[in-house]
């Protein structure tokens, strides 16, 4: 993984890390000031890292999604045909959340929620009232750069609905009804349509935010969960919208646009296929042809003989049908609990 960032002097640095089933290992940090704008030079830098680790040991390179990194990734794959490249999944998911947050209905919902939160924290009486409520927990406020926090903040506000409604019908709240802000806050807090909309959008975004947390975590490689996360997110949105195309289409179009244009890769489909926790969930496992096609394309890229590739394809049948070693009681028991790669 090539993790690009800038230090306090605004120098473009790249941290190189290796992800494997045993954990994460830091390799080196490089000042890329003189090369980061040139795809060929970046490719040469990535090639140095590949040679350091060993081409046979490198399966997948993950970098930023900037045009120079995308171009260097394509050049690197041409140089090492068995290697796969893709942009950072967490970055792509954040962009999906940003896109959805800009939908007019979602943006208006977030703005109304923000007015309530700002009012509650900007007035001494309201803040004291809420903090005296049994079981009160602070409302999470949206961050400026982490787009998931918009939806986490909506969830946080929804969970405090009863406290906020009790506040605006309290006799002492009448002092704020002399102002437009106070009237607006009461109207929002007592609006059931507002709360229902919050609940729906929170439920829609929950699978995407869960996937973002998996991709952002350092404890385990996330590759085996990306395809399933995106697939399940779209299915969940359609279900919440009762399969009414006019309702779910604005959301699924944005998700598919980023997924298809930026992130989707044969390796994601293959990792999904090879994750037994998903493969053996027959009711929910994707039957799309792209899954098997991605798996076969990954096998085809392997630097092995044709007969070995044929054998690998044959073993996929044993795996899919739970035959031979895949049918044992231990294999069946561990298929749900053991991480892929272990």
pLDDT at 137 over 70: yes
CB 2 within 8 A of CB 46: yes
What does the mean pLDDT of the chain come to? 89
pLDDT at 336: 65
Indicate whether 330 pLDDT > 70.
yes
- Taking CA atoms, 65 is separated from 46, 59, 150, 299, in Å, by 15, 18, 23, 25
In the predicted structure, residue 337 carries a pLDDT above the cut 80: no
pLDDT at 22 over 80: no
More confident residue, 296 or 215: 296
- Comparing 141 with 241, the larger pLDDT belongs to 241
Stretch 196-217: mean pLDDT: 92
The two structure tokens encoding residue 54: 């060993």
Provide the pLDDT confidence category of residue 144 given band limits of 50, 70 and 90: low
Is residue 260 predicted with pLDDT exceeding 80? Answer: yes
Q: What CA–CA distance (Å, rounded) separates 112 from 194?
A: 9
The pLDDT tens digits for 268-278 are 999 999 988 88
- Predicted TM-score of the model (pTM): 0.85
Tens of pLDDT, residue by residue over 291-327, are: 999 999 999 998 888 999 999 998 898 888 887 767 7
The more confident residue out of 98 and 217 is: 98
Q: According to the model, what pLDDT value does residue 335 have?
A: 67
pLDDT above 70 for 258:
yes
pLDDT at 43: 94
What is the model's pLDDT at position 65?
A: 84
Question: Which pLDDT value is given to residue 319?
Answer: 85
pLDDT of residue 218: 66
In this prediction, residue 3 has a pLDDT band, given cuts at 50, 70 and 90, of confident
Burial of 114 (0-12, 13-18, 19+ CB in 10 A): middle
Please list, residue by residue across 258-296, b when 16 or more beta carbons sit within 10 angstroms of its beta carbon and e when fewer do: bbeebbbbbbbbbbbbbbbbbbeeeeebbeeeebbebbb
**Model confidence band, residue 143 (pLDDT cutoffs 50, 70, 90):** low
Q: How many CA atoms lie within 13 A of 209 on its CB side?
A: 17
Q: Are strands 84-87 and 12-20 parallel, antiparallel or unpaired?
A: unpaired
Report the pLDDT value the prediction gives residue 342, as an integer from 0 to 100.
57
Per-residue pLDDT reduced to its tens digit, 246-257: 999 999 999 999
Would you state the pLDDT for residue 220?
67
């Amino acid at each position: 993984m090539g993790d690009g960032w800038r230090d306090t002097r605004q120098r473009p640095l790249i941290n190189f890390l290796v992800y494997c089933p045993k954990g994460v290992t830091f390799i080196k940090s490089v000042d890329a000031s003189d090369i980061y704008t040139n795809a060929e030079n970046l490719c040469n830098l990535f090639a140095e890292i590949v040679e350091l680790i060993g081409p046979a040991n490198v399966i997948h390179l993950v970098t930023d999604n900037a045009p120079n990194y995308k171009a260097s990734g394509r050049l690197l794959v041409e140089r090492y045909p068995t290697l796969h490249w893709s942009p950072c999944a967490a970055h792509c998911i954040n962009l999906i959340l940003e896109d959805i947050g800009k939908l007019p209905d979602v943006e208006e919902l977030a703005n109304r929620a923000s007015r309530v939160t700002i009012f509650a924290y900007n007035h001494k009486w309201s803040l004291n009232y809420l903090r005296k409520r049994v079981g009160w927990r602070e409302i999470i406020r949206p961050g400026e750069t982490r787009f998931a926090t918009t939806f986490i903040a909506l969830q946080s506000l929804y969970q405090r609905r009863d406290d906020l409604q009790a506040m605006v019908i309290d006799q002492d709240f009448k002092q704020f009804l002399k102002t437009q802000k106070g009237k607006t806050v009461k109207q929002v807090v007592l609006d059931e349509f507002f709360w229902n909309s919050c609940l729906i959008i929170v439920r829609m975004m929950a699978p995407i935010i869960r996937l973002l947390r998996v991709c952002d975590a350092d404890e385990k490689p996330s590759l085996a969960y990306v395809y399933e996360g995106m697939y399940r997110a779209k299915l969940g949105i359609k279900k919440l919208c009762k399969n009414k195309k006019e309702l779910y289409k604005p959301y699924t179009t944005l998700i598919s646009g980023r997924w298809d244009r930026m992130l989707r890769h044969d390796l994601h489909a293959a990792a999904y296929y090879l994750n037994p926790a998903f493969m053996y969930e027959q009711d929910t496992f994707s039957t799309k042809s792209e899954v098997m096609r991605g798996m076969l394309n990954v096998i085809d890229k392997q630097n092995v003989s044709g007969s070995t590739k044929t054998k690998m394809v044959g073993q996929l049948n044993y795996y899919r049908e739970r035959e031979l070693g895949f049918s044992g009681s231990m294999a069946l028991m561990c298929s749900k609990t053991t991480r892929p790669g272990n």
